[in-house]
Chains A and B, each alone.
Chain A
Amino acid sequence: AQRVTQPEKLLSVFKGAPVELKCNYSYSGSPELFWYVQYSRQRLQLLLRHISRESIKGFTADLNKGETSFHLKKPFAQEEDSAMYYCALSGSNYQLIWGAGTKLIIKP
């Protein structure tokens, strides 16, 4: 079955501390994975996708096929990183399979 799991509903870290938001997936095939972010009172927007291998706003995510993971990381958290983060997998037929989301709170 195709599934995306974000085990943490809420993650709270201090400003300047490292951040890791976990995402595990189940997919029979070559997955394409995404991280989306929703800042307070804003629309959901794409943060990064694994095939582009970019670093956006200091965040990176590496696809680990052995562990079927796509964790989102940032070495030094900033207060403006506080948001809701969703991991998603591109399945067949143009649909995205979504994780439940992790609310990230950065404490000053």
Chain B
Amino acid sequence: NAGVMQNPRHLVRRRGQEARLRCSPMKGHSHVYWYRQLPEEGLKFMVYLQKENIIDESGMPKERFSAEFPKEGPSILRIQQVVRGDSAAYFCASSGTGTGGIQYFGAGTRLSVL
């Protein structure tokens, strides 16, 4: 089991461009969570998805940010028209019905907006 895979590890975008972050959960896991970590700050919940459904997006900015977890393929966090304040590390975690609430984390994507 390869664990939670995130790509790219580093992403550089200019202001106004789009950023797409991908997350492949652990095999057998159907729950995906996205978190943002600003420099020198703690982890902030963004969105929780199950296959083809957004369960909780209360932590996600209303504009420019969207997330999906299609039936096939990885979960995608999309940030449109990026701004400098979007520069952060974005972590994905996954869990399954048999993990007892434990979330397993990916290595993160570090987004830098120039």
Contacts and interface: CB of A to CB of B under 8 A. Distances in A.
A49 B43 CA distance: 19
A86 B91 contact: no
B105 A45 contact: yes
A52 to B, nearest CB: 10
A93 B102 contact: no
Given A94-B31, A94-B95, A95-B56, A44 B101 contact: no
Interface in B16-51: 31, 33, 42-43, 45, 48
A102 to B, nearest CB: 9
Interface string B74-114: 00000000000000000101010000111111111000000
Contact of A99 (B42, B95, B102): B42
Given A98-B45, A100-B42, 12 more contacts: A32-B101, A34-B102, A43-B107, A44-B43, A44-B105, A46-B102, A46-B104, A51-B100, A86-B43, A94-B101, A95-B45, A95-B56
B55 interface: yes
Contacts of A94: 31, 48, 95, 101
Nearest to A97: B45
Contacts of B48: 93-95
Nearest to B93: A44
A105 to B, nearest CB: 13
B101 A96 contact: yes
A96 B45 CA distance: 9
Given A43-B106, A43-B108, A93-B56, A101 B31 contact: no
